[in-house]
Structure 1
């Protein structure tokens, strides 16, 4: 990076530090006692925005996440809460973080308010508002691109949305929308998110130690709560670099207290570029409709439907002669659900959710292209490079018919019991057809990017039932201390396995705005193709039960301290440890398989070193992997959107290791250091500027150990040395054996995104427009290092080098939002 770039990074860093220092000075000057808390809907547990919190002559309003912070006199003993459509409530000040539940004014004429220490945010839990997704530079209205600026969270690449959280793989993350498990939360291969921020009430990421109500994943939990439609007609429309979006909502004319919300999104660039190029560029369109009715006090029925279609039929123009490539894809996501929330008496609530989900994906690639990592040392590139044939078809189908029942019982002022059951009737399948050359640039043969260990033909179907029972008790013996023991039972007919997972969380109010949180527990994950959408590797589960595959397991331990530095400034420090056992990986070839493969080579003795004698990784599964992850995360947030300067800082230090194939090595998304700064400064009532800075150490990397002579199959079916048109040997990259996996590191990652926004009429104005530059400094980040071979006049072999690829170039973008 040049000197100029480092100066720019330092300027943004200094700006964020000044913002923190100003917050600290405010904290020192505060003469009053600060009370914080959250206001929730008493039926749905959803945060309520725009609630007036009143203390004497002082009034504040809750944010979109339902949270508030108010300065009160030391003699104040209670707060009053007022919101349209809800009963006014008064809550006593008993110390600690308050949790206030409001009930609709149509439910009853009176309501008893219980105020105690709230366990609304467990350890490692971070709420992210839709407004933060919209405003964060570099997010492209995608929540996953915002989440990767949090401590302990790493995006696996620039163009996709898959996340690695505290030493876990992307397929170990659970995503739940309104109580429904979402198996494919991405659009356009991950460029966009399945979740429209315009229709979402709140995002909540828990990086570890989540409660017993959720399971079948080892790493993290993302909860997405969609908001209800408003009773009066409203609408908005927006355009971003990826898609256009329309949202309309209003009251339901049938019944009482009903509302509806409809949204539609679609890419638009394909409509223009497709006509100009006569191509079907990758595109998506989705529709979402939510309708809800209230039936008597505390009862609400919500119906939701979602349909999403993605497709592409693209022929690539390649300037070099005889080369061609064509890509086709078809992805469909459909969801239908019914949810019934009810208040049972004065002490119990229940939520019943029935849903049907279908994800179907097909992708095919047909190409004859030059392999830049396979050539002879002939000076003429036209002769040196050969052409690789790539014929690849893959299909994934997931159908999930699910039922979820949750019950909450306030047994006493100190005990809140939560219990529930969930069932998933799963029908999944995976199909493969690979008839061309394999990808020689992946060290793991089970890689979904065309690894040599993938089956040439596969049609695997899995049907089964996955279910769980859970119970937990939130026990609050005092206003300063609470803890939550829980127990979860999971089972799956796919492998016939059953697991029992104890969990425990605790919270202690230290005083002066400080709170300590702790969580530990066992987490398990069953084998299933429904996780394949987010996986880097393919394993064949056709005989999962017969093979005796086990549930994967992880133990979490999290300890953190959160300190309120002022009414809007919060800091959190967390240490974590995860131990992984029985992880599923592709097994190594047996000696018989290895010898049979090696026997196909007909190389002369002088080229014997080019025969890959080491065992390869295949797609047959085994539970013979484990590992651990540990680290320290720091998160500082200034949460007042009305302040001139707001945003957050995060820093993560961590180690993640894997134990498999007889060795211990760095996990592929092990990131030792990561710093993120997201800030927005209000220049005037209409103009603001925002920036995001990412600076992180590189992921582990399997570097080539040298070159080997490539092989080609002759008429006898034997593998013989490959030669070019004039008889010179053709070489390919040698990645060595298992002992070379992840021994090297990618270069560090650094990126700055900058946005300038104009808001007509200020924050509540009818429209806004922004221009943004992603990767402002145009740094060529190495998301991967691709091997390249070039002519070496001083050697018999070509020269091997590695070049950075797959990082964002400098991308100018824009966005427009209009409300009506």
Structure 2
């Protein structure tokens, strides 16, 4: 298996059209003009939908004739409070405008009626503020607000703050399709071993996974390597431990995880399918200590702030930090009895500091790795002893300068690396390794342009390199190395206000310069529009269209239950990916904390790659094949975020295809073959329910139902006959014992596995002590022990032939204990 995987990282052959010449045709890169034309048509439809009426409505959004109030929200230690809800209530008690503070604590409300009103500010963990304010006719007031920390959470205020924040995001955002999971949401979801943001993402609309054994996920017909995974803004290449079974994220340090599945703005580049942004919690500056013990590992997290003397010498108003680590312990516990071959460890931390002038400094780091060491085994008992190691490192730093009128400028730099290697002590001349790294710097800025426009622009330069090698016995079976520089720039404007229209428009420019290989320049326009209906603005129609690009690929076979990503850069060996995407839908805010959405989408993927099973060993550039893909579908979502019982249900319908040259035909040129990829799950349903029982007990459940994934069904076998010469005559020995059998396959991925479904439950109990809080928990995966098929075995050497299946997770109980100290 390893040799097969390694060979996929080295070379690529372009798909040749049936008529010869060029790169056109379904299996190669489609004509760019046709794709651009479709995108231009979608953009034109979106603009026509806005039309003159939209222009008139947008003009009213500028707040002409009304007043405005703006400022920043701070906490008592001088740290800006992000995602706080700010609302203005007129003299008659009506809420006429609301918004949420930005990452730098800024808010702005405009189009306000002149006269006295009340500014209401609330945020989770803080006391609510109500401040009388006089709004001048056509004028603007600047008002900074300081919030005090609330010693005790009041459930009613917490619910109201969450509801108000959801309402504010609903009113401000245009075409973005995003779902945010808070630390509380993540904690209550049943998980394998422990809380896992990657596995939590599987419950959201548009997201599927190929099997139970991997935390990797697919979004709206894209492959897993087309998801941009960010830790505090820094990409990570392989965000899993245990070969994909669990993610690298320490649950104690995660503040939130937001998945953006479509319509994301021009500031995001590098991947074409989705963005999962995981944010590390820097804490509140007070010293804290927490730990947990699960069936797999132990973890600890510490938090606090720099000493006051250090802060003064550095000119800092505040400096808070958190640091957490995890380590598996089975190898330590079993050491007196036997050598357990596997271990994992990681370290994650964040430091956030604010200067007296209001600037923010942020430093984030992650380092982790896995070790599978079978070298201590007896060579007579285990002939293939191996030492296999893999891991990630990521580091990022940023400096944010706050400007007047709510603007800011941010300068950042960071790097990320993933590598893996196998060492065989009994074969010193064998070397298997893979590495990819990324380092870069970026600058971005945001400013207000008038009352309703918010403009953001920036640029970045990043250097990538990779190195893959499969060497044994002095022979290099496969290998590949390269580097590239990606220079990018973006600009995006968002218009909001008191009117019924929201508009976002922007573009991204990417210049990819690989070595070896030709350079590529891609311009990616993006647009989104939203229209509210009704006097209460609880219903909105929205649409978005855009182009997305990607300049690297993972060659891991997603049909395998476990595995690691092996990366290759676009260039001589692989094309880059261009994806054109269109989506449209409706969102509704209902009473009692209910919300619903329905969204349809269509995507194209030009430049995807797959393994060439008919590679020519004399051709150094034909190990991979270039092709194209399509996907279209509908996602429905219903959620409740208030009350003791909360949760959501998501229903997704998907149809995805991939088209590559059919090199198994032996024809030249090879005809195109279109088939569904292994993650083409037509229907996927997720039901998530969480429930609080008083102050101590919490429970959660997740039920998933999905139609079967595609596979290639064997149709039968035939014997390979053995020739022999008998009395000068050539005969075929049809009864030779142990003869080999040839396999006749049906259409590629033309059959489907059975429908699968599974129920997971969890329960937690909070136990308070004078020194802190203990929380034991229990999770049970696949509660009713459904035997969901992972793959089939076909034994044609038996009479009659036998088909047997290999199942995914059986009933798996896991438990653990979390502890936090006061």
Q: TM-score range by the shorter chain?
A: 0.7 to 0.9
Is the Cα–Cα contact under 8 Å of residues 691 and 698 in structure 2 kept in the other structure? yes
DSSP-derived class of the 2:180 partner: strand
User: Could you tell me how far 1:779 is from its partner in structure 2?
Assistant: 1.6
Is the Cα–Cα contact under 8 Å of residues 202 and 226 in structure 1 kept in the other structure? yes
Deviation track 1:255-303 (CA, whole Å, cap 9, x = no partner) reads 131111111111122322354332322x211112322321123301122
| Shift in CA distance, 499/82, structure 1 to aligned 2, threshold 3 Å | same
Deviation track 1:83-115 (CA, whole Å, cap 9, x = no partner) reads 689996869999xxxxxx997859xxxxxxxx9
Aligned match for 2:780, one of 766, 773, 780: 773
User: Could you tell me how far 1:485 is from its partner in structure 2?
Assistant: 0.7
User: Could you tell me how far 1:654 is from its partner in structure 2?
Assistant: 1.5
| Residue 578 in structure 1 maps to residue 603 in structure 2 | yes
Where relative contact order (Cα < 8 A, 6+ residues apart) is larger, the structure is 2
Is the Cα–Cα contact under 8 Å of residues 540 and 621 in structure 1 kept in the other structure? no
| Shift in CA distance, 517/231, structure 1 to aligned 2, threshold 3 Å | same
| Residue 490 in structure 1 maps to residue 510 in structure 2 | yes
Is the Cα–Cα contact under 8 Å of residues 178 and 224 in structure 1 kept in the other structure? yes
| Residue 752 in structure 1 maps to residue 759 in structure 2 | yes
| Residue 785 in structure 1 maps to residue 785 in structure 2 | no
| Matched residue, 1:718 | none
| Shift in CA distance, 323/121, structure 1 to aligned 2, threshold 3 Å | farther
Is the Cα–Cα contact under 8 Å of residues 432 and 456 in structure 1 kept in the other structure? yes
Alignment of 1:351-366 (within 5 A): 351-363=410-422
| Matched residue, 1:260 | 321
| Matched residue, 2:738 | 729
| Matched residue, 1:146 | 200
Is the Cα–Cα contact under 8 Å of residues 559 and 678 in structure 2 kept in the other structure? no
Alignment of 1:415-814 (within 5 A): 415-433=453-471, 457-476=477-496, 478-494=498-514, 495=517, 496-511=519-534, 512=536, 513-527=538-552, 531-532=554-555, 545-546=571-572, 549-587=574-612, 589=614, 593=616, 620-623=623-626, 625-640=627-642, 643-661=643-661, 662-708=672-718, 728-731=737-740, 734=743, 736=745, 740-761=747-768, 766-788=773-795, 791-792=798-799, 799-805=801-807, 807-814=808-815
| Shift in CA distance, 745/327, structure 1 to aligned 2, threshold 3 Å | farther
Is the Cα–Cα contact under 8 Å of residues 556 and 565 in structure 2 kept in the other structure? no
Distance across 2 between alignment mates of 1:770 and 1:85 = 29
| Matched residue, 2:190 | 137
| Matched residue, 1:815 | 816
Deviation track 1:786-805 (CA, whole Å, cap 9, x = no partner) reads 3445632x6xxxx2424134
Q: How big is the alpha-carbon RMSD for the aligned residues of Structure 1 and Structure 2?
A: 4.5
Distance across 1 between alignment mates of 2:690 and 2:122 = 30
Alignment of 1:183-202 (within 5 A): 183-202=237-256
Deviation track 1:38-74 (CA, whole Å, cap 9, x = no partner) reads x9979999984787989799999999x99xxxxxxx9
Deviation track 1:129-173 (CA, whole Å, cap 9, x = no partner) reads 122222101353111111111121111221211111111100111
Unaligned runs of at least 5 residues, structure 2? 1-70, 106-112, 136-141, 148-167, 312-316, 662-671, 723-732
User: Could you tell me how far 1:672 is from its partner in structure 2?
Assistant: 0.9
Deviation track 1:107-130 (CA, whole Å, cap 9, x = no partner) reads xxxxxxxx9985447432111112
Distance across 2 between alignment mates of 1:425 and 1:693 = 43
Aligned match for 1:412, one of 450, 468, 472: 450
DSSP-derived class of the 1:705 partner: strand
| Residue 301 in structure 1 maps to residue 361 in structure 2 | yes
| Residue 219 in structure 1 maps to residue 273 in structure 2 | yes
Deviation track 1:665-722 (CA, whole Å, cap 9, x = no partner) reads 222211111111111233443223322111100111112232355899xxxxxxxxxx
| Shift in CA distance, 53/546, structure 1 to aligned 2, threshold 3 Å | closer
Distance across 2 between alignment mates of 1:695 and 1:498 = 42
| Matched residue, 1:81 | 121
DSSP-derived class of the 1:250 partner: strand
Is the Cα–Cα contact under 8 Å of residues 790 and 805 in structure 2 kept in the other structure? no
Is the Cα–Cα contact under 8 Å of residues 528 and 545 in structure 2 kept in the other structure? yes
Is the Cα–Cα contact under 8 Å of residues 371 and 390 in structure 2 kept in the other structure? yes
Is the Cα–Cα contact under 8 Å of residues 717 and 796 in structure 2 kept in the other structure? no
Is the Cα–Cα contact under 8 Å of residues 774 and 810 in structure 1 kept in the other structure? yes
Distance across 2 between alignment mates of 1:104 and 1:268 = 48
Distance across 2 between alignment mates of 1:695 and 1:46 = 43
Alignment TM-score, normalising by the size of structure 1: 0.73
| Shift in CA distance, 42/124, structure 1 to aligned 2, threshold 3 Å | farther
User: Could you tell me how far 1:553 is from its partner in structure 2?
Assistant: 1.3
DSSP-derived class of the 1:728 partner: coil
DSSP-derived class of the 2:623 partner: strand
Alignment TM-score, normalising by the size of structure 2: 0.73
| Shift in CA distance, 329/182, structure 1 to aligned 2, threshold 3 Å | same
